[in-house]
């Protein structure tokens, strides 16, 4: 065993230790060895149409067949299985009931205050149908957009599947976003309906979701939103507008337990999910029915190697893509048992996750590196108190995992017997793109290893030319895949330009640019090096620096703002903002706190800057561009290196150093 401690660009240790899966694991795995994986990858490369066609036919139930696999006539607006007809809620529920799984547990839900519930597939069908009928009864129609702003309760899943059942699009907004962010998303998506709750629990506190909806509506969304459905969760007295607001339990009380699934075209929209990019405004990523169904289904099956008795738990929130693909659609489409947990580990219960694993004998556990790093920090004594022997497979998502955290996860949580799948993907990709297949790939800690069958990735320079092995560059996907985003809601041009026309096109071929830097080592393993655009990742939450800057500048005291990420040993990155003030304002601790709170109000708690530095001037080039490279060095306390000759006024640097 050798450990090569050379630092790579983003301070991740380069690792050459290799961890093969146990023979036992491989023997029982769906894809049992590397040769089998290579065979699949080659088959996909040789005849990608046949590859996708075979899987679409064998894994998805269609109401009417498609004739075309991939329609690339209007590239990069690719269409998949365009003539096909299906319904994803049928594929997630009804077909399993037809196959004898009525009494299998579909959903295990653990509430934060200790309450819990389970739903079998037939109970899930009933709940989804009642919800679907309830939505229809208030006028929700095929194609309408329904915003779901909810805590992690079963009703969030029912609401998503009910929308899918009647052909409405859902737009789930994470409950940690502020009323202002919610308003933006309601208006951008033209959401006529909102489903929310009287409140939710977050780290021993109550969050006022309905109140945030009221504020978003008052602030302008009332011109669009017609009805608000409210789930009673925390039983708090809240304001209800009798002409607009309805209680979920009253609406569903007398609804029929059966609702015919709407017949959807493959390319009908399933959902819009907002994510941060490098502009000030979040973008609504659009996913459609068939391609997303196939990709979330297939990746779940391959990567999590699902078996019929597995108890699978993904700790994400349904407000993120990970929750969409790997709490709801992927697991249910496979007829698996998926666990949903309302809480998060918190000071009063650091063992919360391990308690859940012990209680339900969870076999597959999928979480974020940030969580693992914070568990590491609080010591192995905590997980060691619990029985984690049911676990057989572990996963990570959302940000690079450093080898130390990987090894800790493997030893302390996985007791050295569980393979780890480090899964790289994005809101835009719909499902996992790069990950070890757990029975087939020898893992290297910190590497997401290889792209999945059907996905061809490469590392290129700014001219779009492939770089040598071990050289860093831009990560691209060379061919379209079924789960790819179809467009940005309301901005197809941005979709085309920023994702598919980023590099000069070679041979008129479109390649997808992910926004990440990466390198491929001499063994062919892929190492993600982090974002190359103005997107930062704080505890695995994706945030645009410009979004935070816009929020700051909207405060009356702020003249200019520049936001950068600073390395953080737990959160991956934390937010540092440099701010210059308008003339009549004075620097003070109070103002700094006010500005932090202002960002929380504008975006949400996840965007709260860790540090705000007020300075008279920001470093700019002669053409007026803020030199973020300098700010990044200052924020992380590093020496300013590289060329500073383009700086307009070099005295700014001294001033900034004093202020930092």
* Residue 531 interacts with ligand WTA (CB under 6 A): yes or no: yes
* Residue 448 interacts with ligand WTA (CB under 6 A): yes or no: yes
Strand segments (E) across 44-98: 70-71, 79-80, 85-86
Sign of the CA dihedral running 22, 26, 31, 36? positive
Q: Are 545 and 279 in contact (CB under 8 A)?
A: no
Binding to ligand WTA by CB under 6 A, coded x per residue (else -) over 542-561, reads x-------------------
Question: In this chain, which stretch among 43-51, 243-251, 392-400, 476-484 interacts with ligand WTA, using CB under 6 A?
Answer: 392-400
Tell me, by CB under 6 A, how many residues bind ligand WTA: 22
Q: Are 547 and 607 in contact (CB under 8 A)?
A: yes
In the complex, minimum distance from the CB of residue 491 to ligand WTA, in angstroms, rounded to a whole number: 17
* Residue 604 interacts with ligand WTA (CB under 6 A): yes or no: no
In the complex, minimum distance from the CB of residue 444 to ligand WTA, in angstroms, rounded to a whole number: 13
- Nearer to ligand WTA among residue 217 and residue 314 (C-beta): 314
The region, left, alpha or beta by phi > 0 then psi within -120 to 50, assigned to residue 162 is alpha
Rounded Cα–Cα distance for residues 561 and 577 (Å)? 7
Q: Are 193 and 136 in contact (CB under 8 A)?
A: no
Applying CB under 6 A, among 160, 321, 336, 511 the residue interacting with ligand WTA is 321
* Residue 324 interacts with ligand WTA (CB under 6 A): yes or no: no
- Nearer to ligand WTA among residue 192 and residue 283 (C-beta): 283
* Residue 528 interacts with ligand WTA (CB under 6 A): yes or no: yes
- Nearer to ligand WTA among residue 126 and residue 428 (C-beta): 428
DSSP line for 459-505: EE-TTSPBPPTT--EEEEE-S--TTS--EETT-HHHIIIIIISSS--
Binding to ligand WTA by CB under 6 A, coded x per residue (else -) over 458-497, reads ----------------------------------------
Residue 293 CB coordination number (10 Å): 32
Question: In this chain, which stretch among 147-155, 215-223, 238-246, 391-399 interacts with ligand WTA, using CB under 6 A?
Answer: 391-399
Rounded Cα–Cα distance for residues 118 and 425 (Å)? 30
* Residue 499 interacts with ligand WTA (CB under 6 A): yes or no: no
In the complex, minimum distance from the CB of residue 195 to ligand WTA, in angstroms, rounded to a whole number: 22
Question: In this chain, which stretch among 178-186, 241-249, 501-509, 514-522 interacts with ligand WTA, using CB under 6 A?
Answer: 514-522
- Nearer to ligand WTA among residue 427 and residue 545 (C-beta): 427
Helix segments in 304-367, DSSP class H: 321-323, 330-333, 352-360
Q: Which H or E run contains 171? A: strand 169-172
Applying CB under 6 A, among 356, 393, 397, 614 the residue interacting with ligand WTA is 397
Rounded Cα–Cα distance for residues 79 and 59 (Å)? 19
- Nearer to ligand WTA among residue 529 and residue 627 (C-beta): 529
Residue 606 CB coordination number (10 Å): 18
Applying CB under 6 A, among 423, 447, 539, 574 the residue interacting with ligand WTA is 423
Question: In this chain, which stretch among 64-72, 74-82, 314-322, 550-558 interacts with ligand WTA, using CB under 6 A?
Answer: 314-322
Q: Which of residues 174-233 bind ligand WTA (CB under 6 A)?
A: none
Contacts (Cβ under 8 Å, ≥6 apart) of 261: 87, 89, 90, 94, 165
Q: Are 28 and 392 in contact (CB under 8 A)?
A: no
Rounded Cα–Cα distance for residues 648 and 85 (Å)? 60
* Residue 424 interacts with ligand WTA (CB under 6 A): yes or no: yes
3-class secondary structure, 257 = coil
Question: In this chain, which stretch among 47-55, 64-72, 99-107, 510-518 interacts with ligand WTA, using CB under 6 A?
Answer: 510-518
Question: In this chain, which stretch among 26-34, 395-403, 463-471, 495-503 interacts with ligand WTA, using CB under 6 A?
Answer: 395-403
* Residue 86 interacts with ligand WTA (CB under 6 A): yes or no: no
Q: Are 236 and 198 in contact (CB under 8 A)?
A: yes
In the complex, minimum distance from the CB of residue 253 to ligand WTA, in angstroms, rounded to a whole number: 37
Q: Are 198 and 212 in contact (CB under 8 A)?
A: no
Residue 89, CA distances (Å) to 261, 271, 330 in order: 7, 13, 11
Question: In this chain, which stretch among 25-33, 71-79, 394-402, 609-617 interacts with ligand WTA, using CB under 6 A?
Answer: 394-402
Applying CB under 6 A, among 112, 422, 533, 549 the residue interacting with ligand WTA is 422
Applying CB under 6 A, among 89, 133, 266, 322 the residue interacting with ligand WTA is 322
Applying CB under 6 A, among 82, 400, 430, 464 the residue interacting with ligand WTA is 400
Closest CA to 236 of 196, 195, 197: 197
- Nearer to ligand WTA among residue 259 and residue 432 (C-beta): 432
Rounded Cα–Cα distance for residues 64 and 608 (Å)? 49
Q: Which of residues 2-21 bind ligand WTA (CB under 6 A)?
A: none
Pairing, β 105-110 against β 116-120: antiparallel
In the complex, minimum distance from the CB of residue 566 to ligand WTA, in angstroms, rounded to a whole number: 17
- Nearer to ligand WTA among residue 56 and residue 448 (C-beta): 448
Q: Which residues of 304-313 are buried (b: 16+ CB within 10 A; e: fewer)?
A: bbbeeebbbb
- Nearer to ligand WTA among residue 96 and residue 531 (C-beta): 531
* Residue 515 interacts with ligand WTA (CB under 6 A): yes or no: yes
628: its two tokens: 């973020």
- Nearer to ligand WTA among residue 167 and residue 176 (C-beta): 176
Applying CB under 6 A, among 91, 181, 338, 427 the residue interacting with ligand WTA is 427
Sign of the CA dihedral running 263, 268, 272, 276? positive
Q: Which of residues 250-309 bind ligand WTA (CB under 6 A)?
A: 275
**What size, in residues, is the chain?**
660
Closest CA to 395 of 419, 370, 415, 426: 419
Q: Are 447 and 402 in contact (CB under 8 A)?
A: no
- Closest-by-Cβ residue to ligand WTA is 427
Question: In this chain, which stretch among 15-23, 305-313, 512-520, 544-552 interacts with ligand WTA, using CB under 6 A?
Answer: 512-520
Which residue carries 């556990």 as its tokens? 365
Binding residues for ligand WTA (CB under 6 A): 275, 320-322, 397-400, 422-427, 448, 514-516, 528, 531, 537, 542
């Amino acid at each position: 065993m050798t450990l090569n401690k050379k630092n790579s660009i983003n301070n991740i240790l380069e690792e050459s230790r290799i961890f093969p899966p146990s023979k036992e694991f491989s023997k029982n795995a769906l894809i049992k060895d590397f040769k089998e994986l290579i065979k699949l990858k080659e088959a996909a490369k040789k005849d990608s149409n046949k590859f996708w066609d075979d899987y679409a036919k064998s894994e998805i139930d269609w109401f009417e067949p498609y004739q075309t696999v991939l329609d690339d006539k209007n590239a990069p607006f690719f269409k998949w299985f365009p003539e096909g007809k299906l319904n994803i809620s049928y594929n997630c529920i009804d077909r399993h009931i037809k196959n004898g799984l009525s009494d299998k547990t579909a959903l295990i839900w653990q509430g934060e205050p200790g309450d819990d519930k389970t739903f079998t597939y037939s109970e899930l069908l009933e709940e989804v149908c009642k919800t679907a009928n309830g939505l229809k009864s208030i006028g929700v129609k095929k194609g309408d957009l329904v915003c779901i702003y909810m805590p992690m309760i079963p009703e969030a899943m029912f609401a998503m599947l009910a929308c899918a059942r009647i052909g409405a699009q859902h737009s789930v907004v994470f409950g940690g976003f502020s009323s202002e962010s919610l308003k933006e998303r309601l208006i951008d998506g033209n959401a006529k309906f909102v489903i929310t709750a009287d409140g939710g629990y977050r780290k021993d506190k109550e969050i006022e979701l309905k109140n945030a909806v009221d504020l978003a509506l008052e602030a302008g969304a009332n011109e669009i939103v017609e009805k608000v459905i409210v789930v009673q969760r925390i039983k708090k007295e809240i304001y209800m507008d009798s002409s607009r607001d309805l209680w979920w339990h009253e609406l569903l009380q007398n609804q029929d337990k059966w609702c015919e699934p709407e017949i959807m075209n493959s390319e009908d929209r399933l959902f819009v999910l907002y994510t941060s990019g490098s502009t000030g405004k979040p973008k609504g990523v659009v996913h459609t029915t068939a391609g997303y169904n196939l990709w979330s289904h297939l990746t779940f099956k391959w990567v999590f190697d699902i078996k019929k008795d597995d108890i699978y738990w993904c700790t994400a929130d349904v407000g993120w893509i990970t929750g969409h693909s790997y709490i709801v659609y992927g697991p249910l489409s496979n007829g698996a048992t998926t666990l949903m947990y309302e809480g998060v580990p918190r000071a009063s219960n650091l063992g919360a996750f391990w308690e859940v694993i012990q209680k339900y004998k969870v076999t597959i556990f999928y979480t974020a590196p940030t969580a693992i790093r914070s568990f590491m920090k609080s010591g192995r004594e905590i997980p060691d108190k619990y029985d984690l022997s049911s676990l057989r497979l572990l996963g990570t998502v959302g940000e690079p995992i450093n080898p130390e955290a990987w090894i800790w996860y493997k030893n302390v949580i996985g007791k050295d017997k569980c393979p780890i799948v480090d899964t790289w993907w994005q809101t835009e990709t719909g499902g996992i793109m790069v990950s070890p297949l757990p029975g087939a790939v020898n893992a290297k800690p910190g590497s997401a290893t290889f792209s999945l069958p059907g996905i061809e990735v490469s590392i290129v320079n700014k001219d779009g030319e492939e770089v040598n092995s071990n050289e860093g560059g831009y990560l691209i996907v060379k061919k379209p895949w079924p789960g790819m985003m179809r467009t940005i809601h309301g901005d197809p041009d941005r979709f085309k330009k920023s994702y598919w026309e980023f590099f000069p096109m070679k041979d008129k071929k479109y390649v997808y640019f992910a926004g990440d830097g990466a390198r491929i080592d001499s063994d062919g393993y892929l190492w993600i090096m982090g974002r190359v655009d103005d997107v930062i990742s704080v505890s695995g939450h994706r945030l645009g620096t410009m979004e935070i800057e816009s929020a700051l500048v909207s405060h009356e005291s702020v003249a200019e703002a520049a936001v950068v990420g600073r390395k953080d040993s737990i959160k991956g990155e934390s937010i540092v903002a440099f701010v210059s003030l308008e003339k009549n304002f004075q620097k003070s601790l109070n103002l700094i706190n006010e500005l932090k709170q202002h960002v929380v109000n504008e975006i949400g708690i996840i965007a709260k800057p860790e540090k705000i530095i007020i300075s008279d001037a920001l470093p700019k080039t002669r053409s007026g561009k803020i030199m973020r490279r300098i700010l990044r060095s200052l924020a992380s306390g590093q020496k300013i290196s590289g060329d500073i000759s383009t700086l307009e006024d070099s005295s700014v640097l001294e001033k900034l150093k004093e202020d930092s």
